[in-house]
Each structure stands twice: as C-alpha cells, then as structure tokens.
Amino acid sequence: MILNFIFVHLNAFILVFWIIFSFIIAFRFFSPLWVKSNNHFISKIIERVRNISYKKLIFITIGINILLGIFLTWGQYHVWATATNYTKMFVKLPLPSAVPIVSYLEWTRHLFFENHLGYFLYYAWGHFWLNIFISFILSSALYFIFKFWESKRGSFDEHGPELFLILSLISGWPGILAFISLGFIFVILFSAYSNFRGVKIVKIEPAFMLLALLLYLLLVFL
C-alpha cells in the first residue's frame, strides 16, 4: 500500500527531495556571509555547514542520481512483474529485432537486449538511465569549461565551477538546458540591478543559486 502510494506520487517526492537538497546547497553557499550567532546551537550548525566541502557535495549529488536511477529501475520492474499477466510479459521478453538501435550501438543488442530481460533493460535505459547519462556528460563538460574560464579570467568564486556542477546535476536532463539558458538571462538582470545599486564587482554564482531555487519551487505549482 505504501509502496503503491510512493510510485503514484514519485515525481512529487523526487521534486520535493531536490528542493530540500537545493536549499542545503544554498545554505552552504551563503553561510560564509553570515556572522557568528550568539546562539551556540545555531552557531554550531552554521560552522558545520561551512565545513562541508563542495567535493563531498558533488559526490553526494552523483550518488543520489545513481541511487534514484536504481530505484526507478527496480520500481518499474516491480510494477510490471506484479501487476497483470500482460505486464509480466515485459520482464520476460527479449528486445524485438524490429526495435531500432542506432547503428554505432547495434553491438549492444546482442550484449544486453537479446536475453529474457532485453525489453525491460531497453526500456529502463531509454526512460531512466539515458537522461542520467546525458546529465553527467553535459554537466561535466560545463564544469571543465567553467574551470578553464576561471583559470584564464578568474571571474568566479573559489568554488564557483563546483557549484555550477552540483546545480546542473540536480537539474538533470533536459532541465539543465532551461537552467543554463535562463541562468544567463537572470545574471544579466542581476548584474543590472547590482550596478544600479553601485556594486562594482558582480559575481554570477548568487544569481544562478537563486535562479535554481526559484525554478525548483516554480515546478511545484506546475
């Protein structure tokens, strides 16, 4: 009963989880700007958050994506294997030869998809793992571009590229396209507002961090 409830509302659970995690990232990003609190408990929390390394947050984000892919794969298998005789067929069916695979990946048909789980593996790859795989590749590419830019221009905060990598991994595919596209528009508006306030040096990381939070919260109402 509980498992069925989770599966029915899975997208909502995932969205809420990523929103909470994004606020933790924002808490880490903005915590160095906060002064030490007179309250010992709050001060201790702030200090612990400040000490979380971005490297650790990156590995946690990657791990969450992988665990999510595993859970979705298992969940789909469980639903098909326990629903009806018709759906049980999908976890005992090789991938039909009529189903196309791009030519340079045709070798994977014999390796992965001609066994009794072939159709299920093909479905899981196309619906779950492909998006995660693309997200990892595109996020990594953007990270190295930002690192290269930082080495040449030095216009980011110390851990700016790492922050972009985390937010890109959270956005996933194809959400990362909206995040990056709207991000630079948001940066322009943020820079214009900062210049209007007389701020000479404008960092783009706060704009991307605030945009990420706004995008994730907006999805709740869509």
Shared-domain flag, residues 63 and 89 = yes
Question: Are 25 and 114 part of one and the same domain?
Answer: no
3-state SS of 80-141 is HHHCCHHHHHHHCCCCCCCCCCCHHHCHHHHHHHCCCCHHHHHHHHHHHHHHHHHHHHHHHH
45 and 82 within one domain: no
Q: Is 207 a member of any domain?
A: no
The count of domains in the chain is 2
Assess whether 29 and 41 both reside in one domain: yes
- Look at residue 165 and tell me if it is in a domain: yes
Looking at 52, 73, 91, the residue that finishes a domain is 52
Is residue 63 included in any domain, yes or no?
Answer: yes
Tens digit of pLDDT at every position of the chain (222 positions): 677 777 778 888 888 888 889 888 888 888 766 656 566 666 777 777 778 889 999 999 999 999 999 999 999 999 999 888 888 999 999 998 888 887 777 888 888 898 889 999 999 999 999 999 999 999 999 899 888 877 776 666 778 889 989 999 998 888 888 888 887 787 777 777 767 776 655 577 777 888 788 877 776 565
pTM over 0.75: yes
Is 204 contained in some domain?
A: no
Looking at the fold, whether 96 and 23 belong to one and the same domain comes out as no
Task: Examine the domain organization and report whether 67 and 48 are in the same domain.
Answer: no
- Is the domain of 64 the same as that of 150? yes
**32 cis-preceded (ω within 30 degrees of 0):** no
Each residue's pLDDT tens digit, 151-185: 776 666 778 889 989 999 998 888 888 888 887 78
> What is the spatial distance between Cα 62 and Cα 79, in angstroms, rounded to a whole number?
26
59 and 141, same domain (yes or no)? yes
214 domain residue, yes or no: no
Domain match, 27 and 77 both: no
- 61 and 164 both lie in a single domain: yes
Q: Are residues 59 and 161 in the same domain?
A: yes
Task: Collapse the DSSP code of 200 into the 3-class scheme (helix H, G, I; strand E, B; otherwise coil) and give the result.
Answer: coil
Q: Which domain holds residue 26?
A: 1-52
In a domain, 205, yes or no: no
Q: Is residue 188 part of a domain?
A: no
User: Same structural domain for residues 47 and 62?
Assistant: no
